Amino acid sequence: MPRSKGLAAGAIALGATAAVAAYDLIQRRHSVLRNYPVVGHLRYGLERIRPEVQQYFIERNWDGRPFDRDIRSIIYERAKGTLEEQAFGTERDVYRPGHEYLVHSVHPAREPQEAPRVRIGGPDCTRPYDMALVNVSAMSFGALSANAIRALNGGAAKGGFAHDTGEGGLSPYHLENGGDLVWELGTGYFGARTEDGDFDPQQFKDKAAHPSVKAVSLKLSQGAKPGIGGVLPGAKVTEEIARTRNVPVGEKCVSPASHRVFHTPVGLIEFIARMRTLARGKPAGFKLCVSSREEVLAIVKAMLEVGTAPDFIIVDGSEGGTAAAPLEFEDHVGMPLTDGLMTVHNALVGAGLRDRVKVGASGKVAAGNDVVKRLIQGADYTNSARAMMMAVGCIQSQICHTDKCPVGVATQDPRRARALDVPDKTERVRRYQDATVREAVRLMAAMGVDHPSQLTPDQLRVVVDHGRTESYGERYDWLSSGALLERSAPEQWVRSWERADASAFHTRAVA
Ligand SMILES: Cc1cc2nc3c(=O)[nH]c(=O)nc-3n(C[C@H](O)[C@H](O)[C@H](O)COP(=O)(O)O)c2cc1C
Ligand code: SF4
């Protein structure tokens, strides 16, 4: 470079630095920059790339959060259909208290040719649905891009599993590829709501009649943010989203914390029965993150009182994901999946209703062992949200709420969403689900069972202390059928049963 040009470039750089320094000194937002003009920007730059540095350079294979590197790699490999075996043995500390393992058999069973499915539909359901062991958990169009929805639904169509729409309505992208749908309604009743936010039965009936809709689900709560609703800012309410949700374009779209259509456990069960009737006999159920045993028992009592039951209940764990929620709710509210699942399962068994209500489970289900563990704890099938997001390309950058998803999964920015190649990702979703179910079936065979109904709580053990392990059968209460009705359940269950009130969600004070 000629000397004069070099001098000019130097002068420009010096001028720019001086301008930044002057700005830093007079601005009032950042104290660091007022004290350390120019160099203080380094702190903000490093802060911005901290998650990437952590993920790529610091995190070990088993301690990344929410999903560790081992699990992420397995999802990507299974989605791509590449090598999925590990060399050299486990890196986990198998003696650590809390470590869980499945009990294999010295005489493994033969793997069934066909993966088992579970029939959803009690005696009041006229169009039962055979659910796969792993399905796509609820995620709305709005939280996810149109291309992500297309790929998830296309994968479900090719692989023969179900795709839950999430509470954001039934969008054209859910219907394009013909995958089986569970249509979810939340407190906003999006897609079936009146202008002032009430449930609109006629719209619900018309849309539930679509042949792709195989079941309808009412969302009561979600593990990542139980007890609060959600807000989609006006800027994100595009014409397309407004049409899907039946809300005005550009206006803030609010899901309230609680439902308008019921106020008591009896009201809830009556509404589920109404949904099933409006859906012309398709399975109807609800999803919740469990709050307390008493509230679950109040709902179960309501089933007995009303004389009908949901066809399914999906239990979401507090470890579940979301596109956006306050940290206090993500970290400190709601029952984890293990406890929630065992509570719902035992409540139904104890009331003699378990054979008519199927139980789904969601909360970090990503690999075959997660599926088998949840089946042992009381589930009939599982749903997966974030692992499915990874199958369509999510890299766990955890900025879903910013609309700046780097891979086009959780964004409404068409430029970013373009990056997601639908045919390729459709195939990845299909492969990932298929491989996960296959591994679950292989694990069950290794445990000596060829059908999930043969699994028992004794086949899952936990290290409770160094040198001591206990099975789930030994460690937790497992009620016998009708034990609550006969008052032969363990004492604390009977006490909760007596406190539970089918006419109120909040526990009645003990006399
Ligand atoms: C981006 C995103 C959007 C979600 N949207 C919904 C929703 O609309 N309705 C719902 O019931 N759950 C929603 N969830 C929760 C998931 O369906 C699921 O219950 C939870 O994430 C646990 O599953 P996971 O651990 O496999 O992610 C959402 C989760 C994510 C990550
Ligand atoms: S890549 Fe990041 S922003 Fe995109 S879906 Fe995954 S976690 Fe959300």
**Residue 260 pLDDT > 50:** yes
Please state the rounded mean pLDDT for residues 120-135.
Answer: 98
pLDDT digits (tens, 9 = 90+) for 486-506: 999 999 999 999 999 999 997
Which segments within 93-156 are labelled E, that is strand?
Answer: 100-102, 118-120, 129-131, 134-136
Question: Domains (ranges, CATH) in the chain?
Answer: 118-499 (3.20.20.70)
Q: pTM for the whole thing?
A: 0.93
Q: Is 325 in the pocket of ligand 2 (CB under 6 A)?
A: no
Reading the block at residue 31, the tokens are: 């104290």
Average pLDDT of the chain, as a whole number: 93
| Residue 216 identity | V
How far, in Å, are 140, 169, 454 from residue 458 at the CA level?
Answer: 38, 41, 11
pLDDT digits (tens, 9 = 90+) for 276-317: 999 999 999 999 999 999 999 999 999 999 999 999 999 999
Ligand 2 center to 157 CA (angstroms): 24
Could you tell me the maximum CA-CA distance found in the chain, to the nearest angstrom?
96
Ligand nearest to the CA of 385: 1
Question: What pLDDT score was predicted for residue 30?
Answer: 87
399 contact partners, CB below 8 Å, separation of at least 6: 405, 406
The order of strands in the sheet holding 460-465 is 100-102, 460-465, 468-471
Q: Is 430 in the pocket of ligand 1 (CB under 6 A)?
A: no
Q: Indicate the range of 154-163, 176-185, 196-205, 394-403 predicted with least confidence.
A: 394-403
Helix (H, G, I), strand (E, B) or coil at 424: helix
Ligand nearest to the CA of 406: 2
d(CA 298, CA 267): 11
| Under 8 Å between Cβ of 265 and 259 | no
For ligand 2, pick from 48, 137, 322, 389 the residue to mutate: most ligand atoms within 8 Å of CB: 389
Ligand 1 center to 396 CA (angstroms): 14
Atom of ligand 1 nearest to the CA of 316: 19
**Residue 53 pLDDT > 90:** no
Ligand nearest to the CA of 362: 1
DSSP 29: S
| Under 8 Å between Cβ of 261 and 269 | no
d(CA 88, CA 68): 19
